Structure 1
Amino acid sequence: MQGVVVGLDLGHSAVKLAYKGKDGEIQKILIPSVTAPATTISDKAASERAMQDTVELDGNRMYVGETALHEGGARNAAGLHHRWIDTITYRALAKNALERVVRDVGRIDSVIVGLPPAILRQRELAVRHLLSSMTDADVRVLPEPGGVSYKMSIDEDGNFIDDAPDTIGVMTIGRYTTDFLVLRGGRWVEKASVSSVGMSEAGEQLRKRLEDRDIQIDHMMADEALRSRSLTIYGKPVEIESDTKSVLSYVASCIIDGAAGAFGDFEVYLEKIYVAGGGAEAMMPELEKIWPHLQLVDDPRFAVAEGFRRYGVARMSIKG
């Protein structure tokens, strides 16, 4: 039986995981990055549904994901800071993600997880130790944008794609940060590994504009409004098109500045610049005005997790 490889992207808005299920099909699961203390749910059907969102940590039962969002609301969402990997929320989300895979396929042989490149050296060991305390699987911690490069250079079965470009730039536009990566001749250029603002900045700007119109929304509603370009309050649609365009344009300018600093003198050598992450589709109209060789990857929100899964499968095949 082929080893079970899990690609794991522990993001501030959602946890994304990719692995092959018992039927050999790739499973992609998204878990909102929200936690709440577990309580008794009287409705039997709802209680049964909540079981997959329940995790025990330090002797306490917690809900994660959709159940936590339903029971506790957006106020229990993950914090927007690099120290969140030290929080109980991060640990609960990671443990629940791994337990879901084990419940489905029985075991895990390899876990590939990412960190923003800017903090990889400082926090790699801590994250590896944390996940290793939750599983007997081999754990590797890689720069998050690297997952995108692996998705574009390795096929679903772990075979390297012969004609994949090896001098590329990557932007992963997440909720908290936009992270950049440059590969030149297939080698990581470490000094290009910097971060800029993420979609939370656009969400916060949108919330402030709506507050000026006496419309109150939480940050998760703002994030969804930016993705869908629509907002419904009390059952009625709210016009946000002009506000959305304005805040997205502002954040795009910040990302462009960040990319210019990251890519620097390497920019003219880049064969492709891949864009992924939960904010990729919203940002593309502004970003593609700047770079003619920009490419939005398929299924951009899962690109990091799926790329890590492919890398893990390839690595396992090489090791034999």
Structure 2
Amino acid sequence: MQKTPISIGIDLGHSSVKVSVKSANKIALIGATTIFPTVVRSWTKIANEETARKAMNDTVDVNGKRFFIGVTAQLQGQAENFSGQSRNWIETDQHDALLVGAWNRAQTILEQNNMADTDNISLVLGLPASYYAQQREPLRKRAYALISRLIPPTQKFRVFIESQSRAPLLCVAFDAYGSETGRAGEDESWGVIEIGHYTTDFTFHDRGQEVDGAASSASGAHMVYDILTAAFKAAGYLVDTDTITTAIKTRKVKSYGVEIDVGHLVDPAIQSFSSYIQEEVASRFGEKAQRMDGLIVAGGGAYMVGQDIRANYPNAVVPNNPRFAVAEGYSRFGLLTLQ
């Protein structure tokens, strides 16, 4: 019996790892996406048996070392920073650990959908626009070598590397099953602003071609975290990633069991970042933005500044789930490679 080919898109972001899994038979999978924090810590023995059992799902072995990833790494390591805040992090054990953890979660999704025995998988990863040309082939080779150890030798397995900022456009050009939508083709022009934690990527796609000269990167949403880290320290609040992330979402922190409103600290930090992004958009796209058919604002940072961009650019589009737009674009591209 012929087995269904599978596409796996993994967005190894600098604040969270997103996974999107699709089958080539055009049937939506149950629980086809998952997400976990971009945090890696060295493994340590956990005394509590129930906690240790739960931590197994967040435990990976790479390069002869054992790591906690995701929520377990965040809790057991009391993480104050996300992992991978450097240009060369694709060459690190931490990046490898996150990739293996994401792959394992994709396999869990396949198991839940009775598709774990597939013999043909396309894995799609990505890089920021400013790193893409230099790091594309090293990442492809490293990822292939890493994952090949985890699969049967008879399984057909390929790795593709996409530009991070191109991925959201793929969600416009192709539907969830990999079929063309008729948009973003040779008679349209689109811009993409992909606001990640470490970088904000800009690309311009003009009548079916990506304009290399327009691809560039600026600082990402870590600017908000940096501002709040200093402000929270001065105010005597905790500055771990969980506390700051929660504060950005809710405008509150918990101190000694009491919720405290910190909107007066969070709002100016977000507004400062929004102003910075607006200036970068104007600088990088200029008058081209006016003749674009659409300007996609994606990535986790879109939640913070997407509405401000839409207020200034009527053609701006914020996806329903901007945090997953990159992983979703990767998995749709993967379907094309399976045809």
TM-score by length of 1: 0.92
Distance (whole Å) between structure 1 residues aligned to residue 192 and residue 107 of structure 2 = 32
**How far 1:106 moved relative to its partner?**
4.2
Equivalent position amino acid for 1:312 in 2: G
Equivalent position amino acid for 2:55 in 1: A
Contact residue 227 and residue 279 of structure 1 kept, 8 A: no
Higher mean C-alpha deviation, range 103-112 or range 10-19: 103-112
**How far 1:20 moved relative to its partner?**
3.4
Distance (whole Å) between structure 2 residues aligned to residue 207 and residue 226 of structure 1 = 12
Of 17, 25, 29, 1:24 maps to 29
1:243 is aligned to: 265
Task: Could you list the structure 1 runs, at least 4 aligned residues long, displaced by more than 4 angstroms after superposition.
Answer: none
**How far 1:84 moved relative to its partner?**
1.6
1:86 is aligned to: 91
5+ long unaligned stretches in structure 2: 149-156
Query: Percentage identity across aligned positions?
Result: 27
2:284 is aligned to: 262
5+ long unaligned stretches in structure 1: none
2:125 is aligned to: 113
Over the aligned positions, Cα root-mean-square deviation in angstroms equals 2.1
Listed one character per residue, the Cα deviations across residues 101-122 of structure 1 (whole Å, up to 9, x for unaligned) are 2353245610111100111001
Of 175, 182, 185, 1:162 maps to 182
2:154 is aligned to: none
TM-score by length of 2: 0.87
Contact residue 196 and residue 254 of structure 1 kept, 8 A: no
Aligned pair count? 317
1:177 is aligned to: 199
Distance (whole Å) between structure 1 residues aligned to residue 96 and residue 46 of structure 2 = 23
1:252 is aligned to: 274
**How far 1:164 moved relative to its partner?**
4.9
Q: 1:66 to 1:212 in 2, by over 3 A?
A: closer
Contact residue 38 and residue 62 of structure 1 kept, 8 A: yes
1:228 is aligned to: 250
Contact residue 18 and residue 29 of structure 1 kept, 8 A: yes
1:10 is aligned to: 12
2:301 is aligned to: 279
Helix, strand or coil: the match of 1:204? Answer: helix
Of 185, 192, 211, 1:189 maps to 211
**How far 1:242 moved relative to its partner?**
2.5
Contact residue 168 and residue 183 of structure 1 kept, 8 A: yes
2:153 is aligned to: none
Equivalent position amino acid for 2:20 in 1: A
Equivalent position amino acid for 2:67 in 1: M
**How far 1:125 moved relative to its partner?**
1.0
